[in-house]
Amino acid sequence: MNECYYDKRMDFFYNRTKADTADEWTGPQLIGVLCFGTFFCLFIFISNSLVIAAVVKNKRFHFPFYYLLANLAAADFFAGIAYVFLMFNTGPVSKTLTVNRWFLRQGLLDTSLTASLVNLLVIAVERHMSIMRMKIHSNLTKKRVTFLIISIWAIAIFMGAVPTLGWNCLCDITVCSSLAPIYSRSYLVFWSVLNLVVFFIMVVVYIRIYMYVQRKTNVLSSHTSGSISRRRTPVKLMKTVMTVLGAFVVCWTPGLVVLLLDGLNCTDCGIQDVKRWFLLLALLNSVMNPIIYSYKDDEMWATMKRMICCSSEDKSQERRSSRIPSTVLCRSTDISGHYIEDGIIQGTICGKGALGDKGNS
């Protein structure tokens, strides 16, 4: 029977696998890393809180897609918490951790990243359902959206807890990973391949959406004169899709490949030299997400600016609205009419915030 090492500290596993715990990151270098990480964590907390508040405050966002968008922001907010915990439990401190505390550190990271990724997949499917049915929003009820959000977090928590539940190498240290000294290499292969497959599915879904909208746009433009904005719709969609997929590829793929190589026991790949940088790159996705979908969704950006500028601007807008209610009503009607007129195209435009999401987790 194999001996189990639940009572050992992490220095036992790090020394055995000869894993670098960044002992050289001390002094000014360590302070620089902590300052850098603190700045980005604060940005993650503030920006994603604004996104969640915007969805709650603006009634135009009370639709399934925006509820999922708010949940994506919550996942990124959680990623910030996981990164804060990591900052104070990494480097030289790593060797002093107990097994349970190390599992907690990695479990928080795995949970946050899985929540972002699964949420992005659900958003992609929701946008696919809406656009294929030529609707602005899907027919998902609030109960179904709530169920989806609960399911997303249930899957994320489960994936984060799998190593703790038994898929580890504490009772068979011959299969221990180099990057994650108490994770089994087979689990790293499973986790990285699973995430890469989900990423591939997302690429296929968004390509299908783009091709469908482009085909519909060409059909409509052959029967109508079309406006300039209508002609530019496929280009805008392509830019949005490329932004989402490009951000995801840049932030996630390198880290997943490194984990896969470690799981395959590649000893000559130099993974120890790049591990921390690829981790930071993956976590930067939580910084980029609110920037991407606020930039691509004008209404979201306007709502966030109103919340930032708060009191004086809101009061002046209310006074102007009370003086010219007919103008506001006319504008609202024009917007609605534009959505109805454009059919499938405006469904895509309205959903561009979804495509601008992700990239995500």
- pLDDT band for position 155 (cuts 50, 70, 90): very high
Query: What is the rounded radius of gyration, in angstroms, for the C-alpha atoms of the chain?
Result: 23
Which tokens go with 236? 């805008």
pLDDT recorded at residue 166? 87
With a cut of 60, say whether residue 315 has pLDDT above it: no
The more confidently predicted of residues 229 and 129 is 129
| Distance (Å, whole) CA 138 – CA 237 | 19
* CA 301 from centre of chain: 18
Token digits for 55? 């969805």
The angle subtended at Cα 129 by Cα 191 and Cα 283, nearest 5°, is 35
Q: How many residues does the chain have?
A: 361
Which residue has better confidence, 329 or 356?
A: 356
- Is residue 35 very low, low, confident or very high in pLDDT (cuts 50, 70, 90)? confident
Give the separation between CA 236 and CA 182, rounded to whole angstroms: 46
Residue 331: the pLDDT is: 37
Domain 10-221+234-309 is classified in which CATH homologous superfamily? Answer: Rhodopsin 7-helix transmembrane proteins (1.20.1070.10)
What DSSP state is assigned to residue 61?
G
DSSP 134: T
Q: What single-letter amino acid sits at 343? A: G
Give 10: exposed, middle or buried? Use CB within 10 Å, 0-12, 13-18, 19+. buried
CA neighbor of 155 nearest in space, from 125, 124, 126, 117: 117
Confidence of residue 127 (pLDDT cuts 50, 70, 90): confident
* CB 201 within 8 Å of CB 330: no
Kindly list the domain boundaries of the chain, sorted by start residue.
10-221+234-309
Both tokens assigned to 177: 């990973």
Distance CA 270, CA 261 (A): 10
- Please give the model's pTM, rounded to 2 decimal places: 0.76
